[in-house]
Amino acid sequence: MRLENAVAADVLERILSAYGFTMQKELSEKLGIAKSNVASWLQRGQVPGNVLVQCALDTGVDVQWLVTGLFANANKRISLEIPRYSLLNGQSLITKMLQSGGKPVLQRILEAYGFKTQKELSEYLGISTGTISTWVRREFFPGDVVIACALETGVSLEWLAIGKRNSTEIRVDISSEKDQFRKIEKKKLSAGKLVDDGFCYFDNSFLSKDVISPVFVASASKSWLVDFGRKNISNGRWVIDIDGNFDVYDVARIPGNKINIVGKTSTFDCSVEEVAPLGVVVQTIENNI
């Protein structure tokens, strides 16, 4: 969830509740800022990400609840990885966060998302590479991005913010989990159109080493794991562009450099040059209800 989609007044109420405060003045004193700053959040319609990070680590509340009002669905990985509260709090915590800004926090964000370059991160977040470079140059702490990253990836907010975990917690080997799952592009197929639909994680045990460029394509009733790295059409199931309309077809090669195409409602023959294959279907997932 993007932080700009959160309702500032509701987020502020949850922050006050987390700290046990009833007035904005108490919160401003806790954070060491002017009361007018708190009021300006409501005027702008957005609570700074740094404040959400500090509140979550100060109080131990669920960061997803702070942002959305809903509690995250707990799983073993998250419950083991995120400590109940930070060993630091208040001013010492915010000081440590600011000291962890710039390149260190950027490296942790890249690791959490599984990206290797700033360009990948900039394209995913929809911000310029120049903005990300500014974080490094000015040793800036991008609180909004840290919160969004924690919500999307499930990694420890304390690790993202200050690079540390509670020494008493049970640790999870993140690198091994990252090796187990692969982040792949997701697309939605509807009414002959194929549109971007974010990303998803796929267990590597379901991916053959022969798959070059996996993409998850979903429709209302079926989903397909498609290798967009293969374009030389052959016998099998393919995502095909026919005159600007996309769909999934069963294909069989026939003599004369032609193919037989079987769709949901029709069957026909055509030359290979008359269609544009996007990729071969590796797996099909069909809803039974």
Query: What is the tens place of the pLDDT at every residue in 167-194?
Result: 333 334 444 444 577 788 899 999 999 9
- Gap between the Cα atoms of 54 and 146, Å rounded: 11
> What fold is seen in the domain 3-172?
434 Repressor (Amino-terminal Domain) (1.10.260)
Number of C-beta neighbours around residue 155 at 10 A: 24
Residue 120 CB contacts under 8 Å (≥ 6 apart), including other chains: 110, 113
CATH 1.10.260.40 in the chain, residue ranges: 3-172
Cβ-contact 165, 83 below 8 angstroms:
yes
Give start-end residues of each CATH 2.10.109.10 domain in the chain: 182-286
Q: Which two tokens stand for residue 34?
A: 């002017």
Contact criterion met (CB below 8 Å) for 232 and 248: no
Spans of the chain, pLDDT less than 50: 1-2, 73-88, 166-178
Task: Name the token pair of 164.
Answer: 């540390």
Place of tokens 């709090």: 89
Query: Where do we find the tokens 């702070």?
Result: 66
For residue 136, the model assigns a pLDDT of: 84
3-state secondary structure the chain: CCHHHCCHHHHHHHHHHHHCCCCHHHHHHHHCCCHHHHHHHHHHCCCCHHHHHHHHHHHCCCHHHHHHCCCCCCCHHHHHHCCCCCCCCHHHHHHHHHHCCCHHHHHHHHHHHCCCCHHHHHHHHCCCHHHHHHHHHHCCCCHHHHHHHHHHHCCCHHHHHHCCCCCCCCCCCHHHHHHHEEEEEEEEEECCEEEEEEEEEEEHHHCCCCCCCEEEEECCCEEEEEECCCCCCCCEEEEEEECCEEEEEEEEEECCCEEEEECCCCEEEEEHHHCEEEEEEEEEEECCC
pTM: 0.43
Name the phi and psi angles at 174, rounded to 5: -65, -40
List the beta bridge partners of residue 250.
Answer: 237, 262
Topology given in CATH for the domain delimited by 182-286: Umud Fragment, subunit A (2.10.109)
